[in-house]
Structure 1
């Protein structure tokens, strides 16, 4: 037994923890949980806990359904919202096959494999997500057929005594209580829309943090008689919710993306990494934007990027190179703005990192940065400048993912096939649905 496992067992005893929740995700990123009695934790560390993997979307087939969850002791945290009644903790888990091998269909393992490849190339990957979401009065629709936001405030608005302001203060405190460092929080552009940005961490820890973040945000909302949603585009006429993520690669203690004296202080490694994103973005968009509703955000305005472009501090571009303070070369980073808040963070970060590493491996050439507002250009101008569009629907994104050898390699055969099957089913259901928009537009005139 290692020191981390000993620390967990000692803390459970000292804090009189009554329940230990083992967390993992399915292929679309839905959080799964099983509560373990404290006496069983030591056995779970050494042998794992058996469960029926075929009942979890994408984990295994019926004829090979036996799977194991093995808790990662480094992720142990007391859950503060359960402390008033009984001490409850959680640990994220790795999914194993009955012979103790990492399960190919485990989304967390997909990211770990990609991070291992980065390590083989000499890199450590750090990420910093900016997570947007809407705070609503309830999950029910209002009289106009849309959800009702908790306020009518806008970007950076300060509303004395406002519901969202109190909500963010409580949520940030609770996030920090479970070991998640927050950089800042504020009201976003849409009514009831908020953003909370997490501090830099390695990509695996960030993905774990995002899953915890969503749970904390929803739990806090419920205590305040409201409802939090990470749906990419819950309102037709208000901005969607993105999860812009900053990436950097380090070689030891050196930022591999920084090179003094070059354009935007970007190293050759950084330029090739960005080129990998731009080349493969159409192929991985089904992963970073995995729902039918995701494409309402990408193509619905509100600063959502929908064309292949990059720029220095240009918020209309799909990839942005942020400004940083002079002499702060260690903070050099690149930001992918396409991903939305409902994405599976494990798979999304795996394909983003994998595409960037492919650009480095193959020495991709980066096109010129865009200085113009991409949204204001005409279709002909964008075409002439090489700003091809991202997929315009989940259907188009599925087709491009199906044809991608690189995505199949990054995700692995099982995740690749299960993910595609899930997305095909979603598109099929959507295609058969008669929407209120169609009835409103056509019923009285056709």
Structure 2
């Protein structure tokens, strides 16, 4: 959408407010709303001022003036506001007109520009499968003398004996038994359909939705791939629509990777490919899974840099509660065709040359999508430039269920880091591939590591409720 079309949309839809949004280091959106009467073509040239010192991980108070520069292509009409509103994502600039090097969206834009400068291709397509839970109740606290969490869902397997108004009607979802059942086991068809309708109204092409494996309302909605930055914009809008639709239904949605103990967590499997114009560069008939040599080198880059990548694709302490064997978690740093126990899967069912792609299954939705997608692209491009052959480095292919391999065979397979701190250590040691072409800066990486170490420490120093079970009677 052009600036002219945005202004036309405002007029034709009687829009009262224009909501300008940007994203912080953690991937959370922030916004400032202007009356539509205050928005004209000059707004897209001069931007919207805000205080960067109030955003964690951004600037100090002595240099707090910053500017949001709106991208008209990201515009969509907000389906939740009482007063007609349009939402527009922005890049962050300094007052002197320079891109702010700590702005995640600007990093994504620079990654796309870098791809074109390399001459390898003209665009990178991304498609995340962002899973989530829909709960009926959530309560949590973390204080000096108490710590707890509680979630509940009407369809949860633990509620088979719960007293309910009108009687308990059964048909609960068993633990690990939630993959695509029909009603009445699946109670959330309508809410997912409503989410999907609103996603399509916001400009996304929804491909499917379904119940996921876990009990207690785990769901997935897939939307069509797009270019890197546009897909990250879409994912921000996706999470906004999922959260607020759930709220309208009197429920709550979370993209937290592991909100439940003993059942599957929520991942964000990321499909990706590179094109030169309309020509797919990852396809070669007769190759392994019909992959080109370029695609294999891209996989080599992803797997070689995976420990560092995971600091950006799985950037929460909770991420590593999901990344454990036994819960369909892709902890094994190998590639394989059609094998969901590998970190990199090559889809092979109903795949056309233009649909040929690789799927990195390790990420989750605590990732800032602008940073995660940019980092994956940079790792893959490094693999292409250095011709990293994943097979020569011991990264597969492994076309067996890795979870059921003999222990001696498993011992030869490298695994993901075991904690956020380990992943941050890996990022500190292996970040040169990210700084190629000035896409990420060393300042950004150092600041990001410091920011995330503080998060990890805040969890590590707190008393965990399970420690009372283990140690109170010592």
**TM-score bracket for the superposition, by shorter chain length:** over 0.9
1:86 aligned residue (83, 86, 102): 83
Runs of 5+ consecutive residues of structure 1 not aligned to the other structure: none
1:137 corresponds to which residue? 136
Give how far 1:163 is off.
3.9
Give how far 1:341 is off.
1.8
1:54 corresponds to which residue? 53
CA distance in 2, matches of 1:182, 1:150: 27
1:335 corresponds to which residue? 359
CA distance in 1, matches of 2:386, 2:242: 41
1:149 aligned residue (139, 147, 153): 153
Matched, 1:171 2:195: yes
Give how far 1:219 is off.
0.5
Does the C-alpha gap of structure 1 residues 376 and 162 become closer, same or farther in structure 2, counting only changes over 3 Å?
Answer: closer
When structure 1 is superposed on structure 2, of 362-371 and 160-169 the one drifting more is 160-169
Give how far 1:218 is off.
0.7
Q: Secondary structure at the match of 2:247?
A: helix
CA distance in 2, matches of 1:72, 1:379: 52
When structure 1 is superposed on structure 2, of 222-231 and 111-120 the one drifting more is 111-120
Q: Secondary structure at the match of 2:9?
A: helix
1:426 aligned residue (450, 455, 459): 455
CA distance in 2, matches of 1:160, 1:149: 14
When structure 1 is superposed on structure 2, of 185-194 and 122-131 the one drifting more is 122-131
Q: Secondary structure at the match of 2:282?
A: coil
Q: Report how many aligned residue pairs link the two structures.
A: 438
Give the TM-score of the pair, scaled to structure 1: 0.94
1:375-397 per-position Cα deviation (integer Å, ceiling 9, x unaligned): 2234432233xx21110011111
Give the structure with the larger helix fraction.
Answer: 1
Q: Secondary structure at the match of 1:67?
A: strand
Q: Secondary structure at the match of 1:80?
A: coil
Give how far 1:62 is off.
3.0
Q: Is the 8 A contact 1:27 1:415 kept in 2?
A: no
Give how far 1:263 is off.
2.0
CA distance in 1, matches of 2:57, 2:423: 19
Matched, 1:15 2:13: yes
Runs of 5+ consecutive residues of structure 2 not aligned to the other structure: 142-147, 157-172
1:234 aligned residue (256, 259, 264): 259
Give how far 1:346 is off.
0.4
Give how far 1:203 is off.
1.4
CA distance in 2, matches of 1:129, 1:96: 28
Does the C-alpha gap of structure 1 residues 218 and 362 become closer, same or farther in structure 2, counting only changes over 3 Å?
Answer: same
Q: CA RMSD in A?
A: 1.8
Give how far 1:36 is off.
1.2
Matched, 1:370 2:398: yes
1:341-379 per-position Cα deviation (integer Å, ceiling 9, x unaligned): 221100000110100000001111121410121222344
1:358 corresponds to which residue? 382
Give the TM-score of the pair, scaled to structure 2: 0.89
1:380 corresponds to which residue? 408
CA distance in 2, matches of 1:263, 1:312: 8
CA distance in 1, matches of 2:103, 2:303: 27
1:399 aligned residue (421, 425, 428): 425
2:467 aligned residue (432, 438, 441): 438
